[in-house]
Structure formats: C-alpha cells, structure tokens
C-alpha cells in the first residue's frame, strides 16, 4: 500500500508544480479565456492549458513507475501504456491549437477521434459485461470495437461539457479515478497496473484542483476537458470492464449531457456541440446557488453512487442507475419549474 501512496503523492506534487509553471506560461503567451461571452461566468481573463499540467504529472509518474516495473503486467502491456500516453498527448496538442486558434467543432473532433481509434488499435476494449441474471455476456470484435469507441468518445464529451464551473470536471475525475482504484483492488479485479494508473490520475487531478478550485487561477482548457474523460474511460475499461461503476460515478453529468444534446437536436434544431448556459450546473447557478455549492452537489452524487458501486453486484448497480436517473429527472424538473417561476415572477 505504501507504493500506492508514493504514486499518489508524486503525481500530486508533480502536477501541482507543473500547474504553477503552465499557468505562468499561459499568462505570458496570452493563452487566456476571456469573460466576454454570455455563457462565461468568470470575471477576469483566466489562463488555459491546465490539461498540459495534468498530462505532465500523470505521464511522468506513470513512466517512473513503469521503469520500476510496477505498472505493466499481464493485463496491460508496455505498448498499451505507451498508446494511452500518446493518445493523451494528441488531446493536449489539439487542445492547445483550439485554445490558441479557436478551432471549429468539426476540427476539434479530429483529436478525440484519433485518440479513441489509437486505443482500439492497441487492443484495449470492452470484451464483456456482467449479466444481471448471472455470468457474463461476451462481445465479439464486431460488437466490442463500436461499444468501446462510443464509451471513450462519450466519456470525453461528458467531461468536456461538464467543465463549466471551477473544480467541477477535475474534482469529479479525481473521485472517479479513486473509485476505479478501489474497484481494481477488489478480490475479483486485482489488476495492479490499473490500480497504479488510477491513483496517479487521482493525484494529478487533485494537484491541479489546488489551482482550479473557485476562484480558479487556471482552467483545464479544451485539451484538459477531454483528457480527463479519456483517461477515466480507458482506466474503467482496464479495471475489468466495470462500466457500470463509471456510469454511477459520472451518472449525473452523463444524464445532463444526454438531455442537453437531445434538446439541442430535437427542440432547438441546432448542432449538439454548440455551447450554452442550459446545463444543470448553470440552472442551479441561476437559482441562486454559489459555484462552490453547485460543485459540492455534483461531488456528493458522484461520491454517493460511486461508493455504493463498490458494494453492489450487477443487479444492485442497475437499480442504483435507475435511482440515479429518477434523481436526475426530479432534480431537472424541480430546477426548471423553479427557474421559470422566478423568471415569470
């Protein structure tokens, strides 16, 4: 266990240091997010490129422990670890280009697509899911490839859309990676490589969160917002296809993303990738909650359902997902009703 604590501490310190350096670099180079747009809620220009800091702390720590022989094992190869890191580098590069040149959505999409395809080519995939009636349901390659691709892309865009408040995406990613760590330690999923990488990701996100907590001194940027979802998606697959666990941790943000995309397509007849202020966290702000309060509400749901997933079997997890969906519907309906009554009043 002491090695795990070392991994967490090293990742935390490296990312904390990298964040301070990247912040100064972004300030000097003018890579800032300005609060002119109506959907922006920060008051002053804020440095971007936070994803570079998270990636740096994560990658360096992974390489340190890989060199020491503590990560690569029978479940994850050195080549696959290298592929994961290359995919993250692609996302950071794409994020840098977007932060600097404000790329169009179709151009932004190229980098997440490339990272997801790399993971598929490495052999990492969702090869089975648990059967609620007992046993497992195995997937052929024809099924596994699109399911894995959709999972990784969906997780990347969940954290991308989630990155609307200080500390929200980075904090929930930290919670999610800690839950995946404990899942990886469980009696039926003892994959040490995944355990190390999950804890390293948690340390990186927590190190960044020191600067990203409200009022944020640096933002994730485009690259960081998709990088966090990418790493969490891949690690959840490596932990034994514990997709239900990740769904419970990120259930509230995922349901919010689905709702927003459906609304944009079917009600507003627009592009699903257009940014606005109609996410659940924005609605809660409009109701008078502070940024910190909204973020803590999301943390609570992620922690509560994430911890429950550690003790539930497949049927219990399905019931928990149903409860989470009901909570989301009740929360969304009450928020919408209260918002409309305030606006009309």
Is the model more confident about 40 or about 86? Answer: 86
Number of domains in the chain: 1
User: In the prediction, which pLDDT does 38 show?
Assistant: 46
Which H or E element spans position 136? strand 136-138
Residue 60: exposed, middle, or buried by beta-carbon count in 10 A (0-12, 13-18, 19+)? middle
At 115-159, the pLDDT tens digits run 999 999 999 998 877 665 566 778 888 999 999 999 999 999 999
The number of C-alpha atoms within 13 Å of 108 and in the hemisphere containing its C-beta is 23
In this prediction, residue 240 has a pLDDT band, given cuts at 50, 70 and 90, of low
Contacts of 66 (CB under 8 A, 6+ apart): 72, 78, 81
Q: What pTM, to 2 d.p., does this model score?
A: 0.88
Distance linking the first and last C-alpha atoms of the chain: 57
In this prediction, residue 70 has a pLDDT band, given cuts at 50, 70 and 90, of confident
Q: Which domain holds residue 317?
A: 2-344
pLDDT at 232 over 80: yes
User: In the prediction, which pLDDT does 161 show?
Assistant: 87
Residue-averaged pLDDT of the chain: 85
**Average pLDDT of span 235-262:** 77
Pick from 5, 15, 13: which is nearest to 224 by CA?
A: 15
User: In the prediction, which pLDDT does 110 show?
Assistant: 96
Residue 144: how many CB atoms within 10 A of its CB?
17
Question: Which residues, listed in sequence order, are joined to residue 129 by a DSSP beta bridge?
Answer: 137
At 263-289, the pLDDT tens digits run 666 666 556 556 656 677 777 887 888
């Amino acid at each position: 266990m002491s090695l795990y604590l070392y991994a967490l501490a090293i990742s935390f310190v490296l990312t904390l240091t990298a964040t301070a350096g990247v912040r100064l670099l972004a300030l000097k180079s003018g890579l800032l997010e300005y609060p002119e747009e109506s959907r922006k809620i920060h008051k002053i220009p804020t440095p971007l490129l936070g994803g570079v800091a998270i990636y740096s702390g994560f990658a360096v720590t992974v390489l340190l422990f890989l060199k020491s022989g503590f990560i690569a094992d029978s479940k994850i190869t050195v080549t696959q670890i290298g592929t994961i890191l290359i995919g993250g580098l692609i996302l950071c590069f794409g994020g840098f280009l977007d932060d600097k040149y404000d790329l169009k959505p179709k151009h932004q999409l190229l980098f997440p697509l490339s990272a997801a395809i790399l993971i598929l080519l490495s052999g990492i995939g969702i090869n089975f899911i648990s059967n609620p009636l007992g046993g497992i349901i195995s997937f052929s390659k024809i099924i596994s490839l699109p399911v894995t691709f959709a999972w990784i892309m969906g997780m990347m865009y969940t954290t991308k859309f989630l990155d609307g408040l200080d500390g929200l995406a980075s904090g929930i990613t930290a919670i999610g990676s800690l839950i995946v760590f404990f899942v990886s330690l469980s009696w039926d999923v003892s994959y040490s490589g995944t355990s190390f990488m999950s804890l390293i990701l948690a340390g990186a996100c927590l190190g960044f969160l020191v600067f990203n907590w409200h009022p944020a001194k640096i933002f994730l940027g485009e690259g960081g917002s998709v990088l966090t979802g990418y790493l969490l998606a891949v690690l959840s697959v490596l932990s034994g296809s514990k997709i239900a666990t990740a769904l419970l941790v990120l259930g509230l943000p995922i349901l919010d993303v689905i709702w927003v995309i459906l609304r944009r397509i079917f009600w507003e007849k627009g592009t699903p990738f257009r940014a606005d202020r109609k996410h659940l966290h924005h609605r809660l702000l409009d109701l008078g909650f502070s940024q910190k309060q909204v973020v803590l509400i999301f943390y609570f749901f992620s922690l509560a359902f994430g911890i429950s997933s550690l003790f539930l079997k497949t049927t219990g997890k399905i019931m928990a997902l149903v409860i989470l969906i009901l909570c989301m519907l009740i929360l969304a309906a009450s928020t919408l009703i209260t918002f409309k009554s305030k606006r009309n009043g």
